[in-house]
Chain A
């Protein structure tokens, strides 16, 4: 009995990884003929994740861990690329820096609105989303072309001829995604800031009583999120050679979904960056699977499955399953 309970708990706490493994095994069997498990394909999936919003989910995790939300990441993602392109025309370094500044400012403003003006982060970041999408249209009328060696740094590839099937090497976006994930994991596990984020999200009042500067932690989390989103936008623009105005549209919802699938609790205080990373992988594997399917099956099933996954993952996070885990909770629950 005890063993069973332990087994349940260890599976429950690793449900994201479990889902990931199942998905990989399932996919590799079904799509054997499509070479699902070839290096080429794996790197393709990773590249897709790095280009299309994988980073955003990592940034979003900071904010969600604080029990807040940031709907503006998609807009920051697009704007930073555009700003880099425009400012980069004068000086490439200025371009990169000003792209990042977009994320910094956006994060600071949302953080300020949430902590000092006490506006709900949904409204504050929603307003930011509106505003930034407007700003994009104001400063650029059409896609901005990104030129020059420095600005297109993300086109670079590394390790040519090392990995079979990848003669020209792999895009540096892939190692960057890994580095960013490890960086986030490091911050969350080994720094005061990381530990205090969990405290703020877990029980804001208790954290305040323990002497933690709650406002500063929240603002920092929004800044992290904004900066990562800006970086991601820069990387996409830089690697594709142009910054499109509509880039990152509705990515905020996908970023939240990836976090939810990764087991990050949307009520804050619980979750891991490694979970988010697997959430990202699950998302993009499903995304890839849909390109294999016969055309008679609409690719839009993907969106339905994502929605269902979000619902399932919150249901798993909810009391229903949690109750089994926290069986020592005292009886006598009143309404």
Chain B
């Protein structure tokens, strides 16, 4: 292969996700009536919030070479705990408690993966089953409707439906904060460096004096932290906390966003911007189908194909 060809291929890989996103937006510009309206953007923001939150944590986890498939269940657990506690304790303490429990569980996951050297996949699979059960137990298997919870319920519902300045959905705040947080962490802090170092070469990192167990505990803790907020915001949006369905398949969306965004499954690199692009691609596909009255099911098949294509294009880079 000649040098220029190689470069072309490399840049193709590098920008494949962005190119794909642009391509979809272009198609929409041509085919979808009313695509460029504020409503569309607002729609995207409200829908994408949990995916972005979870995928930010997932980006960190995957960049350490692990995976966290328990985020969906953490979402459910956090949402349900908040809903159960807030009538007694008020909204903020309830949220704090839910988040604290989630972070604790995340740290334990990190410990099991780092210190006990269990496979991340299996540990989080166990948690995925177990925490879904915890969520169900906490809500006694019934959906908790916020409109029956009086003032506090209405307050939490506001977290999901409030519009800043009357037009921008409130979900923009967690999205913005989480992206900013993870981006700063990756780019500016020593923790970010150490996370990528551990994912890139665990042996070299340990020999350079990095406590990999501590790093993994923090990373899984952060993942659970974001997942908890994703759960609370998602519950707020629909005004109901359902232990059975809240956050179902959220882990899959998050993983898909991360890998489409070019963060290699083998770890060592975190592409925060790529993850956002990945999440947007998935969302735009859904939206395109909705706005053109194509049933959602087609969107799903299409998404599957996009995931495979995106991973296939970027696969050389991950090796």
Contacts and interface: CB of A to CB of B under 8 A. Distances in A.
Interface stretch (A115-123, A165-173, A229-237): A115-123
Nearest to B212: A335
A69 B312 CA distance: 18
B312 A298 contact: no
A2 to B, nearest CB: 29
A300 B312 contact: no
B140 A298 contact: yes
Contact of B125 (A124, A129, A253, A305): A253
Given A119-B311, A123-B259, A300-B137, A311 B116 contact: no
A133 interface: yes
A1 interface: no
A210 interface: no
Contacts of A250: 248
Contact of A117 (B140, B203, B315): B315
A contact face: mostly helix, strand, loop, or mixed: helix
A126 interface: yes
Contacts of B140: 298
A320 interface: yes
Contacts of A138: 295, 297-298, 301
Contacts of A302: 133
A305 B315 CA distance: 38
Given A119-B308, A133-B300, A315-B118, A308 B126 contact: yes
B196 to A, nearest CB: 19
Residue among B67, B118, B126, B299 with most chain A CB within 10 A: B126
Contacts of B315: 117-119
Given A131-B304, A266-B122, A307 B129 contact: yes
A37 interface: no
Given A260-B122, A335-B207, A306 B307 contact: no
Given A135-B301, A335-B203, A301 B126 contact: no
A319 B119 CA distance: 11
Identify whether the interface residues of B are mostly helix, strand, loop, or mixed.
helix
A153 B126 CA distance: 37
Contact of B116 (A131, A256, A305, A318): A318
Nearest to A113: B308
B308 A124 contact: yes
B305 interface: yes
B2 to A, nearest CB: 24
B51 to A, nearest CB: 14
B118 A300 contact: no
Nearest to A266: B122
B124 to A, nearest CB: 10
A128 B140 CA distance: 33
B173 interface: no
B243 interface: yes
A134 B301 contact: yes
A129 B301 CA distance: 9
A63 interface: no
A222 to B, nearest CB: 15
Nearest to A311: B126
Given A120-B265, A127-B307, A266-B121, A257 B129 contact: yes
A130 B128 contact: no
Contacts of B137: 298, 300-301, 304
Contact of B301 (A118, A131, A298): A131
Nearest to B259: A123
Nearest to A137: B297
A225 interface: no
B123 interface: yes
B39 interface: no
Interface string B266-310: 000000000000000000000000000001111111111101100
Contacts of A305: 133
Contact of B311 (A123, A299, A306): A123
Nearest to A312: B126
B131 to A, nearest CB: 7
Contacts of B117: 318-319
A267 to B, nearest CB: 7
B206 interface: yes
Interface string A90-121: 00000000000000000000000100011110
B296 A306 contact: no
A126 B255 contact: yes
A45 to B, nearest CB: 20
24 contacts: A117-B312, A119-B311, A122-B255, A123-B265, A123-B307, A127-B307, A127-B308, A129-B252, A131-B304, A134-B297, A134-B300, A134-B304, A136-B297, A257-B125, A257-B126, A298-B136, A300-B133, A300-B141, A304-B129, A307-B127, A307-B133, A310-B122, A314-B119, A335-B206
Interface of B: 67, 112, 116-119, 121-123, 125-137, 140-141, 203, 206-207, 243, 248, 252, 255-256, 259, 265, 295-305, 307-308, 311-312, 315
Interface of A: 69, 113, 117-120, 122-124, 126-131, 133-138, 250, 253-254, 256-257, 260, 266-267, 298-311, 314-315, 318-320, 335
Given A122-B67, A131-B304, A304-B129, 14 more contacts: A126-B252, A127-B307, A131-B300, A133-B300, A134-B297, A134-B298, A267-B119, A298-B140, A300-B137, A303-B130, A307-B127, A307-B132, A311-B112, A335-B207
